[in-house]
């Protein structure tokens, strides 16, 4: 794939899907700027990319803080002169019924999952507009498409990501910038562990039983590996996917088909 020598900024690159995506893109010859709130983890991500022969640096960035986002994007542009690819992967989840949800929790999830995508895309897109090229991928979720008991604010935050994707795609298309969302299903990361532990009891079952129940509802009968999401992202940001924009693409083992 034609990804060599491109510069990517990955948010949430400290672990899970973001780290797997950073490593996958690093393997394809992309220069990876790994960002996250957890500096120890992104340092490790960058080191692993370099050990595999790739290029990478890391920078602390909280996607929900406009000042931090602007400073990091400016310093990447100063150093590397461009950002070809943005992967918005940072995310957080909370479980519980909406009727009991604390307002602060609502704000926290919306700030990271939704405002984070808005702010980071805005800062990067301003530069992509000057370059007249670029591609942005937002990690949404199948939870954005069908409501679930005990997952309200997360679903709302990701449904909003789909609309940010469509709107940015339309507004940025004249500048040769593609914007798409990937909607993973159950993927084997810490976020899913949290879901098993917190939502199992809500459903009246143990975390292990809840895990079994969720996986039995997936037609392919397993969770995704984070690397599988990384490979799809590598395709979507490559030249081979130039005609795809404004899409929300499921990678969910058949769990969601719309």
Ligand X SMILES: NC(=O)c1ccc[n+]([C@@H]2O[C@H](COP(=O)([O-])OP(=O)(O)OC[C@H]3O[C@@H](n4cnc5c(N)ncnc54)[C@H](O)[C@@H]3O)[C@@H](O)[C@H]2O)c1
Please list the active-site residues.
154
Question: Under rule CB under 6 A, how many of the chain's residues touch ligand X?
Answer: 28
Integer-rounded Cα radius of gyration of the chain = 18
Answer whether 18's CB lies under 8 Å from 90's CB.
Answer: yes
**Binding residues for ligand X restricted to 126-155, rule: CB under 6 A:** 139, 141
Determine whether 135 is exposed, middle or buried from the number of CB atoms within 10 Å of its CB (0-12, 13-18, 19+). buried
Give CA–CA dist 157/116, Å, rounded: 10
Our CB check for ligand X shows the closer of 8 and 90 to be 90
Asked whether position 64 contacts ligand X by CB under 6 A, the answer is yes
Determine whether 132 is exposed, middle or buried from the number of CB atoms within 10 Å of its CB (0-12, 13-18, 19+). exposed
Asked whether position 253 contacts ligand X by CB under 6 A, the answer is no
Give CA–CA dist 10/119, Å, rounded: 14
Would you give the binding string for ligand X spanning residues 175-214, x where CB under 6 A is met?
A: ---------x-xx-xxxx----------------------
Asked whether position 230 contacts ligand X by CB under 6 A, the answer is no
Q: Rule CB under 6 A: choose which of 31, 36, 45, 151 binds ligand X.
A: 36
Which two tokens mark 116? 């984070």
Site residues for ligand X per CB under 6 A: 11-12, 14-18, 36-38, 41, 62-64, 89-92, 112, 139, 141, 184, 186-187, 189-192
């Amino acid at each position: 794939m034609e990804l060599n020598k491109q510069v990517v900024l990955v948010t949430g690159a400290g672990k899970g899907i973001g780290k797997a995506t950073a490593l996958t893109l690093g393997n394809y010859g992309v220069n990876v700027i790994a960002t996250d709130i957890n500096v120890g983890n992104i340092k490790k991500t960058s080191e692993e990319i370099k050990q595999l022969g790739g290029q990478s640096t890391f920078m602390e960035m909280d996607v929900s803080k406009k000042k931090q986002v602007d400073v990091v994007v400016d310093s990447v542009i100063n150093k590397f002169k461009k950002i070809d690819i943005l992967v918005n992967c940072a995310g957080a989840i909370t479980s519980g019924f909406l009727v009991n949800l604390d307002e602060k929790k609502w704000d926290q999830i919306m700030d990271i999952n939704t405002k984070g995508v808005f702010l980071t895309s805005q800062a990067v897109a301003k530069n992509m507009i000057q370059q007249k090229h670029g591609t942005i991928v937002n990690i949404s979720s199948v939870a954005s498409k069908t409501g679930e008991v005990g997952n309200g604010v997360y679903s709302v935050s990701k449904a909003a990501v789909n609309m940010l994707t469509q709107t940015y795609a339309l507004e940025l298309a004249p500048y040769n910038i593609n914007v798409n969302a990937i909607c993973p299903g159950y993927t084997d990361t810490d976020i899913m562990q949290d879901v098993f532990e917190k939502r199992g009891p809500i459903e009246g079952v143990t975390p292990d039983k809840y895990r079994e129940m969720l996986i039995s509802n997936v037609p392919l009968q397993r969770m995704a590996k984070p690397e599988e999401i990384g490979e799809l992202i590598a395709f979507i940001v490559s030249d081979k996917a130039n005609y795809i924009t404004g899409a929300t693409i499921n990678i969910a083992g058949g769990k969601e088909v719309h």
